[in-house]
Amino acid sequence: MAGVVWRGDFETGDRSQYSRAQMVNANRLQVVTSPVAEGQYALKATVYQGDDPINASGNRNELVYISNEPVGSEYYYRWKVMFANDFPSVDTWQLFTQWHHDGCCGSPPVEFYVKGEEIRLSLPGTSEIPWRTKLTRGVWHEFILHAKWSSDPKVGFVELWHNKELVLPKRGAMTMYSGQRNYLKLGLYRSDTVRPVGVVYHDGFMQATALSDVLEQEPEPEPPPVDAGTPVDAGAPMDAGSPMDAGSVDPDPVDAGGAEEPQPDAGTPDRDAGTVPRPNVPPPGGISPDEGVAAQAGCSSTGGSAAAFALLGLMGLAGYRRRGH
């Protein structure tokens, strides 16, 4: 991120992000893989009574980062701290993070420390303890400090978030000593009167120019796949039937309403029968054509064999007509 000025999060796997170490030996400031607050590495700071690597007051094992923030500069700092389950409860000071002045003596202008069962922010230059909270061991505490560095309390200020909650709104403060610059120290520095071993873990330190740069970016959840719904069933495709062959004749055409079978054209003479006889209509003169034929053949017009022949003629003609349909 463009606004990040520096990282001291130990993700290099060592202490190389810092300017130097003040420790009696390497096992007092160990880069570890568990526990960690983020990433893969964290710092385990351990202090035994008598640890005094710089021959000064108190006991300590600390990392130093020479940041040299200029007068009037303004930054956001974010880091995480966890106190071991057996961290000592004593009625004296045990510093875990401080912005120290580059002069020789005195308390630093900004310091975070434990006293008894409290975590405190102190501004020794103004004899203020503007914020405190209960010490909870075995959990990670996240701090975000917003500071403007100045020896003038009308210019300098501090603002603090603890575990993502704004616990100290912006307030004016003397954050530097006149004519001196600050630098960062973290680990554990405590009164030499403390006997039990003290262990503190540090992780994720970063310095940036904007609050948005130090806020942890939660990964955005992947949106659930859009359910396009079950495709609408348009129904089984309609069977349009087999295409009709316009050149084939349906062997069983649909009855279009009982149309009669075509009859021979009544105006066309029958191939052999001549004029179609009308046996129920008496011919002129009362003699049927069959009777006329019989008469011509020499039969009596009064009956007898002539009548029989006439009857036989009618029966034969009727049978012929049936065959002609």
Query: 200-235 pLDDT, tens per residue?
Result: 999 999 999 999 999 976 656 666 666 555 555 555
- Of the candidates 99, 95, 65, the one whose C-alpha atom is nearest the C-alpha of residue 174 is 99
Q: What is the pLDDT of residue 164?
A: 96
How high is the mean pLDDT of the chain?
A: 79
Q: What is the pLDDT of residue 21?
A: 98
- Of the candidates 141, 145, 112, 121, the one whose C-alpha atom is nearest the C-alpha of residue 211 is 145
Q: What is the pLDDT of residue 126?
A: 85
Compute the average pLDDT of residues 46-53. 98
Q: Say whether pLDDT at 15 is over 50.
A: yes
Q: Say whether pLDDT at 292 is over 60.
A: no
Give the E-state strand segments of the chain in sequence order.
Answer: 4-8, 20-22, 29-32, 42-47, 59-69, 74-83, 93-101, 110-115, 118-123, 128-134, 140-148, 157-162, 165-172, 182-190, 198-208
C-alpha dist (Å) from residue 163 to 42, 50, 124, 247, 309: 18, 33, 24, 89, 136
Query: 164-182 pLDDT, tens per residue?
Result: 999 999 999 999 999 999 9
Give the count of beta carbons closer than 10 Å to the beta carbon of residue 269: 12
Compute the average pLDDT of residues 283-290. 40
How many angstroms separate the CA atoms of 227 and 224, rounded? 9
Query: 112-145 pLDDT, tens per residue?
Result: 999 999 999 999 988 889 999 999 999 999 999 9
The model scores a pTM over 0.75: no
AA identity, residue 235: G
Q: State the pLDDT confidence band at 58, using cuts at 50, 70 and 90.
A: very high
User: 106: number of CA atoms within 13 Å, CB side?
Assistant: 16
Q: What is the pLDDT of residue 105?
A: 84
Looking at residue 185, what DSSP letter applies?
E
Compute the average pLDDT of residues 69-85. 96
How many angstroms separate the CA atoms of 147 and 76, rounded? 7
Q: Say whether pLDDT at 25 is over 80.
A: yes
Compute the average pLDDT of residues 10-19. 98
User: Radius of gyration over alpha carbons of the chain, in Å?
Assistant: 59
Report the SS3 class of residue 260: coil
